[in-house]
Amino acid sequence: MKILVGYKRVVDYNVRIQVKPDGSGVVTDGVKLSANPFDDIALEEALRLREKGVAEEVIVVGIGPADLTSHLRNGLAMGANRAIHVLTSEAVQPLTAARIFLKLIEKEQPGLVILGKQAIDDDANQTGQMLAALWDRPQATFAGKVEIADGKATVTREVDAGLEVIEAELPAVITTDLRLNEPRFIKLPDIMKAKSKPIDSIEFSSLGVDTHDHLKTTHYAAPAKRSKGVMVKDAAELVAALKQKGLL
Amino acid sequence: MSKILVIAEHLGGKLNPSTARAVSAAAAVKPEAIDVLVLADAPDAIAAEAAKIDGVSRVLTVTRAENAHPLAAVLAPQIAKAATGYSHVFAPSTTFGKDVAPRVAALLGVAQVSDVMSVEAAHTFKRPIYAGNAIITVEADANHTVVATIRTASWPAAASGANSAPIEALTIDAALPTHTRFIELKQGSSDRPDLQSASKVVSGGRGVGSKENFDIIYKFADKIGAAVGASRAAVDAGYVPNEMQVGQTGKIIAPELYMAIGISGAIQHLTGIKDAGTIVAINKDGEAPIFEIADFGLVGDLFKLIPELEQALG
Ligand SMILES: Cc1cc2nc3c(=O)[nH]c(=O)nc-3n(C[C@H](O)[C@H](O)[C@H](O)COP(=O)(O)OP(=O)(O)OC[C@H]3O[C@@H](n4cnc5c(N)ncnc54)[C@H](O)[C@@H]3O)c2cc1C
Ligand SMILES: Nc1ncnc2c1ncn2[C@@H]1O[C@H](COP(=O)(O)O)[C@@H](O)[C@H]1O
């Protein structure tokens, strides 16, 4: 079985995001970029499934500009067998990303697609669900635990009420939650090895993907700031302050 | 004119309060109608609750055994069919809504607006990106159905009681897949207030130190009638179950009072509490970032301060 993994590059989660004063976007020049944390988890899970013998091949997929190659090399260094780079200079929205993944699925015929539950730049949390709909296959979102046996995935999902267990026939789409696993660190020799692993580049325009129905972002703003309050000296003062506000 | 279909979230035969919040957002569009869609195996009690929510025009029920559990693959084709004739489909931005709404959007071939914070116009919305560090204004194509999830912390629950909207059964002719099956829901049983709708929340972080130590947080919360939450670090360390996580990837909440105890205040945590009325921070590190946004800060050891707080409460 092949596993296709979404491997998006995003602004690193430690970066303090600044909105440009003219509201045209956020500052990304010179800012550290990293793999979407949920996608590192997706890749780790795929690698573990390969190590268990459930899968033979793990393919990382990145959709983005030409300089995405070094990012995909990281995925290869972590252990993916090969990478697919869908080349586009435009940022793709989830529906387009899902349509792109569907094209790749038609070609690669994976048994499993693992994506992050959300990309921490757009925080959309849509692509996996949309892909599953277009592909007409099961989705198991927010996965905290995955077991594959007998042609199906048993997935424990982190939902608001607790943990939900569902069973999905393969092929299926799984999206990862934080506690699914802890991604491995890349080792130096693996970076060397990754240099010889293949990256397939595909021009986005060659895929014939419909890019209609997009949302237009017209303005970026900084969020309303909460101002720093007061420090109280002890428990009694805190309780008195909260009582005065009618909160206790 | 707009007509909005709101997808009801429910569990165990009860309507989730997130539904009334989505109705509030729908009302902000100033539509000619707001209909609530209840997909269930036994929708009657849920529909009766939904019919009482202010602003609801009609409640539509779809009764099918397959709807006993909220499987997105099963619900989405039904919702997509029911959406015919509506300008908007809204669902709460809970794990339920996040799971099902994009599947509906894709079936309808439209983009989705996630986590609507405000409605600027019928097709213009504000939503957070980068863990709430930027707020964008997005415009959806006016020629297509808008599918959106509603950031529940940004919207009050629409009042309930005065309305009695008609309830109508809907028959939807949709082939439902059998490739996805519900096995079980492991739910933490708790008599405490619900984290997502409580007016007071006490959260513990890594500073609490262990699962056993968390009792001090539970006890204090019970004393003031609060729900209990946690940071990701506390969940990861196994002090508390996952459903208690507050933040970017956990629950986004807006209680009147939020008390962060032994929590440093990482951006991803703060995203979840930005809309709280009053934030209290208790931390032994006076430099902890949580104090930058706290309305009241108290520096000290939580194991000493919580008993003192209990005493001061009397
Ligand atoms: C993609 C991504 C998503 C994330 N999503 C979330 C999320 O949804 N929610 C979330 O919370 N985090 C999230 N995080 C993690 C976040 O970055 C922080 O790591 C986490 O919030 C830290 O939790 P904490 O404050 O409990 O722990 P720490 O940062 O370790 O802080 C513990 C605090 O306790 C204090 N302390 C220790 N002992 C005592 C004592 N005896 N008395 C008083 N104070 C004491 C310390 O001074 C310290 O400030 C996410 C991270 C990533 C990368
Ligand atoms: N441009 C992209 N390149 C690779 N993977 C992507 C891309 N966009 C979305 N994905 C995948 O879809 C997941 C969810 O993204 P989103 O729906 O944007 O929150 C991500 O975690 C990735 O796994």
Going from the C-alpha of B296 to that of each of A79, B225, B265, B283, B301, the distances in angstroms are: 48, 19, 14, 11, 16
Domain presence at residue B256: yes
Q: Identify whether residues B158 and B268 lie together within a single domain.
A: no
- Residues B165, B19 share a domain: yes
B181 DSSP β-pair partners: A167
CA of A13, closest atom in ligand 1? 53
Same domain, yes or no: B114 and B205: no
User: How far does the centroid of ligand 1 lie from the alpha carbon of residue B283, in Å?
Assistant: 11
Question: Which amino acid is it at B260?
Answer: A
Q: Is this model's pTM higher than 0.95 or not?
A: yes
Could you give the CA distance from residue A211 to residue A224 in angstroms, rounded to a whole number? 33
Pick among B269, B296, B303, B306 to test the A interface (most A CBs inside 10 A): B296
Residue B285 CA, closest ligand 1 atom number: 47
Band of the pLDDT at B264, cuts 50, 70, 90?
very high
The secondary structure element, H or E, covering residue A77 is helix A69-78
Flag whether B195 is in a domain: no
Q: Is residue B182 part of a domain?
A: no
Distance CA B72, CA B62 (A): 15
Residues B31 and B114 in one domain: yes
pLDDT band at residue B242 under the 50/70/90 scheme: very high
The CATH number assigned to the domain holding B137 equals: 3.40.50.620
Residue B204 and residue B165 share a domain: no
Residues B209, B137, single domain; the answer is no
Mean pLDDT of B208-218: 98
Find the CATH number of the domain harbouring B229: 3.40.50.1220
Please give the Cα distance from B190 to A223 (Å, whole number).
34
Predicted local distance difference test score (pLDDT) of residue B188: 78
Report yes or no on B75 lying in a domain.
yes
Taking only the tens place, the pLDDT of each residue in B5-45 is 999 999 999 999 999 999 999 999 999 999 999 999 999 99
Pocket flag, ligand 1, residue A13 (CB < 6 Å): yes
Chain A residues whose beta carbon lies within 8 Å of the beta carbon of residue B115: 123
Task: Read off the pLDDT of residues B59-117 as tens digits, 9 standing for 90 and up.
Answer: 999 999 999 999 999 999 999 999 999 999 999 999 999 999 999 999 999 999 999 99
What is the rounded distance in angstroms from the CA atom of residue B279 to the CA atom of residue A228? 10
Closest to B166 in 3D by CA, of B60, B79, B90, B24: B60
Of the candidates A202, A203, A151, A173, the one whose C-alpha atom is nearest the C-alpha of residue A3 is A173
Chain B residues 247-286 with a CB less than 8 Å from chain A? 248-249, 251, 256-257, 267-268, 274, 277-280
Interface predicted TM-score (ipTM): 0.96
Using the structure block, give the residue that is written with the tokens 């988890």.
Answer: A41
pLDDT at A213: 67
Is B135 found in the same domain as B17?
Answer: yes
B161 and B207 housed in the same domain = no
Contact A126 CB / ligand 2 (< 6 Å): yes
The per-residue pLDDT for B191 is 84
Number of helical (H) and strand (E) elements in chain A, helices listed first: 6, 13
Range of the domain at B11: 3-169
Residue B111 lies in a domain: yes
Pairing outcome for strands B296-299 and B278-283: parallel
Residue in chain B nearest A162 by alpha carbon? B187
Distance CA A144, CA A159 (A): 10
**B77 and B149 share a domain?**
yes
- Whether residue B17 is found in the same domain as residue B149: yes
Question: Are residues B150 and B14 part of one domain?
Answer: yes
User: Per the domain annotation, does B11 fall within a domain?
Assistant: yes
SS3 B83: coil
Evaluate whether residue B180 is within a structural domain: no
Q: CA of B251 to nearest chain A CA: how many angstroms apart?
A: 8
Q: Which of A109, A107, A110 is nearest to A49 (CA)?
A: A110
Average pLDDT score over chain B: 97
Burial A110-139 (b: 16+ CB within 10 A, else e): bbbbbbbbbbbbbbbbbbbbbbbbbbebbb
Per the CB < 8 Å rule, is B102 touching A179?
no
pLDDT less than 70: residues of chain A: 213
Q: Give residues 137 to 176 of A whose Cβ lies within 8 Å of B.
A: 137-142, 144, 154, 157-169, 172
User: Residue A228: its pLDDT value, please?
Assistant: 86
Domain assignment of residue B63, yes or no? yes
Per-window interface: A 26-85 vs B, CB < 8 A: 26
Q: Are residues B216 and B299 in the same domain?
A: yes
Q: Is residue B139 classed as helix, strand or coil in its secondary structure?
A: strand
| pLDDT of B258 | 98
What is the position in ligand 1's atom list of the atom closest to the CA of A120?
1
Q: What is the pLDDT of residue B252?
A: 96
Our count of domains for chain B comes to 2
The answer on pLDDT for B189 being more than 80 is no
